[in-house]
Chains A and B, each alone.
Chain A
Amino acid sequence: MYAFQYRKAKTLKEVGEWLAKDDEAKLLSGGMTLIPTLKARLAQPTQLIDINGISELSGIEVKGDVLSIGAATRHQEVATSKVVRDALPALASLAANIGDPQVRNRGTIGGSVANNDPAADYPAAVLGLNAKIITNKREIVAEDFFQGMFATALEAGELIVRIAFPLPKKAAYAKFPHPATGYAMAGVFVAETADGIRVAVTGAGEGVFRWSDAEAALGKKMDAAALEKLTLSTDNLNEDIHGTREYRAQLAKVMAARAVAAITGKK
C-alpha cells in the first residue's frame, strides 16, 4: 500500500468540505473493495476519509411505500434487519448472499452501489426497483445513476447518503455466483412494481441493465414459462475466462426464471 493520510469524519458536512479541498481523497466505508485495491497498489489516494459512524448515513426505515437504508449500513444488517425482511425480503436475501460472512460484516450498501462493480448484487435490486439514490447534493433515480462498468452519475465531492427503495408488490433475486468469489456470473432481480414488471440483470454485462423483452413477456403472464422462448442479446455481455457471452445469456435466462418461480411459487 502506498502511504496516505487517514481522517475520520464525524459529520456529512465535514466529509463534503474535506472532499472539496482534495480531489485525490477517497472515501472509506466498508473498505471491501478499496482496501484490496490499495493493497495491490492499484490506487494512490492522498487521504482516506473514513465515513463509518456518521449518523446521517445509518438507519433502516419504512415510510409509506418506501424502504430507506442509510449508505453505511452493512450487508449483514440488511440481511438480518426485521424491517427489511418484512418489507422487502428479496433485498434481505440478496444481502445475505453477498461475498462471505466477513465481507458482509464490513461491506456497506452505499459502498457497493457507488463502486458499481458490474458483478455486484445490489445494483440489480436498485435498478430492478428504480430506487432513488440520495446524495449529499441531490436525488438520482437508478435509471440515471448506473453508467456502465464502475461508472456512476456521482460527481466529485458527492457521496451517497441513503438509498430509497419503492416497495414492490412482489420481488425476487436469483444469482449464479462464481464459485470462488461469490460475485454474480449472472444475477437477476425481478419485481412487480406499480409501474409494471421490471427485470434487472447484473454480472452478465458491462454493468447492470434491464432486460426489456423479459419485462414485456412477464407483463403478459407472470410465469417462468413466459421466458422460455426468449434469448438475451449477447451484444453487450461479458466474455472472459469464466464464461462466454452465450453462456452468460443462458445463465441470465435461467436466473430470471428462478426469480419468477420464487415470486409465483410455481416451479
Chain B
Amino acid sequence: MAKITMTVNGKKSTGDVEDRALLANFLRDELKLTGTHVGCDTSQCGACTVHVDGRAIKSCTMLAVQADGAEVVTIEGLAKNGKLHPAQQAFTECHALQCGFCTPGMIMTTAALIKDNPKPSDEEIVHGLEGNLCRCTGYLNIVKAVKRAAELQAK
C-alpha cells in the first residue's frame, strides 16, 4: 500500500492505494469521480483520458502511485465557475455524441489538442483523436465539434 497525494481538479486529494492500483481506479473508486470512464481496459479506447500535469494520458495505463504529487484534471474539473469549457460547449452544440460513453475521453483529448494546436486542420484533428474510439461511429460530428471548440476557445 502507498499513501498518495495529488491535486485533482484543483483540490488536494489524499488516499491509500495498492501499488498496483491504476489512476483510473483511484479517481473512480476512491474519489468517486466517475466521469472518467473505463471502456476497454486494454489501453486502446481513450475513454479514461485525463490530464496529468497538463498532458492527456490514459488513466487506465498509469499507476495511481505514479501520479503522486501531480496535478490531475478530469472531466469534472473542466468547467470553470459554472461555465462549460469550449470543448464541452462545442460537443453539446454539435451533438458530438450518440451513447456518450466515449465523450469524457473525447472532450479531455480535445481540450489538450486545442491547447497545443489552437487551429487544427481536419487531418490534424483526426490524427489527434487516434487514441479515442467511438463505437457509435459518431466521428463526423466529433470532428466538427473539435473545430467548433477551437473557434470557441479563440473567442
How many CB-defined contacts (below 8 Å) exist between A and B? 74
Q: Which residues of A contact B22 (CB under 8 A)?
A: 35
User: Which listed residue (B2, B41, B65, B112) contacts A101, Cβ 8 A?
Assistant: B112
**CB-based contact A105/B63 at 8 Å:** no
CB pair B62–A101 under 8 Å, yes or no, is no
Give chain A nearest CB distance to B79 CB in angstroms: 22
Q: Which of A1-9, A127-135, A253-261 contacts B (4 or more CB under 8 A)?
A: A1-9
Are B131 and A100 in contact (CB-based, < 8 A)?
yes
How many Å lie between the Cα of A194 and that of B120 in the bound state? 38
Interface residues on B, range: 20 to 34
Residues in B whose Cβ lies below 8 Å from that of A52? 66
Which one of B5-13, B49-57, B136-144, B145-153 contacts A? B49-57
Q: Mark B99-114, 1 if CB is under 8 A from A, else 0.
A: 0000000000100110
The answer on a CB contact under 8 Å between B18 and A3 is: yes
Instruction: Determine which of B49, B63, B109 lies in contact with A35 in the assembled complex, contact meaning CB atoms within 8 Å.
Output: B63
Q: Knowing A31-B62, A103-B131 are in contact, say whether A3-B57 is a contact too (CB < 8 A).
A: no
Which residues of A sit under 8 angstroms from B60, Cβ to Cβ?
Answer: 39
Q: Are A105 and B19 in contact (CB under 8 A)?
A: no
Interface string of B34-66 (1 = CB under 8 A from A): 000000011110100100000111101111011
Does A50 belong to the interface (CB within 8 Å)? Answer: yes
Complex-state Cα separation, A52 to B63, whole angstroms = 12
Return chain B residues, CB-CB under 8 Å to A31: 61-63, 66
**Closest beta carbon of chain A to B21's beta carbon, Å:** 9
Q: Which residues of B contact A76 (CB under 8 A)?
A: 55
When the two chains form the complex, which single residue of A2, A8, A32, A105 contacts B56, counting CB atoms closer than 8 Å? A105
Residue B118 at the chain A interface, CB threshold 8 Å: no
Within 8 A of B (CB), among A1-22: 1-6, 8
Question: Which residue in chain A gives the minimum CB-CB distance to B2?
Answer: A6
The size bracket of the interface on A is: 20 to 34
How distant is A165 from chain B, measured CB to nearest CB, in Å?
Answer: 25
B49 in complex: contacting residue of A32, A38, A50, A102, CB < 8 Å: A102
The answer, among A3, A40, A99, A101, for a CB contact under 8 Å with B42, is A40
Binary CB contact string for chain B from 51 to 92 against chain A (1 if under 8 A, 0 otherwise): 000011110111101100000000000000000000000000
**Nearest chain B residue, comparing its CB with the CB of A179:** B130
- CB of A4 within 8 A of CB of B49, answer no
Contacting residues, chain B, for A35 (C-beta < 8 A): 22, 43, 61-63
Closest CB in chain A relative to B127 CB, distance in Å: 8
**Cα of A76 to Cα of B46 in the assembled complex, Å:** 17
CA distance A39 to B42 in the complex (A): 8
Known contacts A36-B43, A39-B42, A50-B66: A3-B19 contact under CB 8 Å: yes
- Which residues of chain B have a CB within 8 Å of any CB of chain A? 2, 18-20, 22, 41-44, 46, 49, 55-58, 60-63, 65-66, 109, 112-113, 128, 130-132
27 A/B residue pairs, CB under 8 Å, sorted by A: A3-B18, A3-B20, A6-B2, A8-B65, A28-B63, A31-B61, A31-B62, A32-B61, A35-B61, A38-B20, A39-B60, A48-B19, A48-B63, A50-B65, A100-B131, A100-B132, A101-B56, A101-B130, A101-B131, A102-B46, A102-B56, A102-B131, A103-B58, A103-B131, A105-B56, A106-B57, A106-B58
Additional 12 contacts, C-beta under 8 A, given A5-B19, A52-B66, A99-B130? A3-B18, A6-B2, A31-B61, A32-B43, A35-B62, A39-B41, A39-B60, A100-B46, A101-B113, A101-B130, A102-B56, A106-B58
